[in-house]
A and B are shown apart, each in its own frame.
Chain A
Amino acid sequence: MVKQKYSFEKVLDNIDVSEDIFQPNLTTKLSIESALEKLKDNNSILDLGCGSGIIGIAIMKTFSDIKMFCSDIQPNAIENAKNNFMKNNLSAEIRKGNLFEPWNGKKFDYIINDVSAISTSVAKISPWFGKNVPCQSGEDGTDLALSILKDSPKFLNKGGCLQIPLISLSDTNKIIDYAKNLFLKVKITQSKSWFLPKEMDKFRDSLYKLKTNNLINFEEKFAKIICNTSIATCEEPK
């Protein structure tokens, strides 16, 4: 049963996000919107790489009877997420650890991949990653996504679903191809283009170098670099 109408801005207003953890952005918003379309009551949900906890909080504020599990590798994020769930009178099981490591032996109906999904070189010059936010996703931004895709079938209940972000500041074709090798149903549920933040314009040459090497992708239009974020759902592991 849906409790109330979802508003990203309202959820954001009701949480605190420490400066040294990942800052919620468009990918966060699209991840929430995609999950809300797909989720059902009584589902158990894992938010992998939860950061401030915003995704879990948005979902729990919208759906009743959801069991929420969150994890992050960053101790500051864990503390921040716990405080935000408390602030919103919600409860979730929150564990610290790398990717699926804290959840050995557990299974979920819905897993949201919320970990770094852009090229490490781009992350370093972006405004989204604080000083201490890890981004070990490799030059093409796919390392963590591929690892999660590979391990996820072990952590999904029958009929379960893995949701992944596809950000054009990584090699999204590689991620999609890998997903299609592992899952029978891979579907894009959300897609949005966006201007690269102004403060990154000065790194244009480096970005073009990464693009030339097919490590990331973007287009240039209206004299600006335009990127894309999509969300894909992966169901029925092969």
Chain B
Amino acid sequence: MNRKELEKLIIKIINDDEVKDLKNYEWDSLAHLTILMELDKIYPDKITSIDNIAEMNTYKKLEKALISKKLLNND
């Protein structure tokens, strides 16, 4: 998965037209769970093993965690 695909997935789930700056947007826990479930489908068993993944409800935090586990292309 690359950054563009991650952004697309998040935007689809948060479904908030007023988000101007996704990188600094903090989404709610319902959206976060949906995002994690979707990522879990793409990377079975890998997402759930990331420490504190349930608390990473911003793009920056999630991006950092995914890169550290080599699940997001760092390009």
Contact = CB atoms under 8 A, between A and B. Distances in A.
Contacts of A193: 33-34, 37
Contact of B53 (A194, A222, A226): A222
B30 A222 contact: no
A26 B51 CA distance: 27
A194 B33 CA distance: 7
A187 interface: no
Nearest to A221: B48
Contacts of A224: 54
Contacts of A222: 33, 36, 47-48, 53-54
A192 interface: yes
Contacts of B33: 193-195, 222, 226
**What size tier do the contact residues of chain A reach?**
10 to 19
Interface string B27-40: 00110111011001
A223 interface: yes
Nearest to A197: B29
A200 to B, nearest CB: 13
Interface in A181-238: 192-195, 221-224, 226
Nearest to B29: A195
A26 B34 CA distance: 14
Question: Which of B29, B32, B34, B51: most chain A Cβ within 10 A?
Answer: B29
A192 B30 contact: yes
Nearest to B52: A223
A193 to B, nearest CB: 6
Nearest to A195: B29
A221 B37 CA distance: 9
Contacts of B29: 194-195
A223 B48 CA distance: 7
Contacts of B40: 221
A186 B48 CA distance: 34
Question: Which of A194, A195, A222, A224: most chain B Cβ within 10 A?
Answer: A222
Contacts of B51: 223
Contacts of A195: 29, 32-33, 54
A223 B54 contact: yes
A195 B33 CA distance: 7
Nearest to B56: A222
Contacts of B47: 222
B1 to A, nearest CB: 18
B8 to A, nearest CB: 21
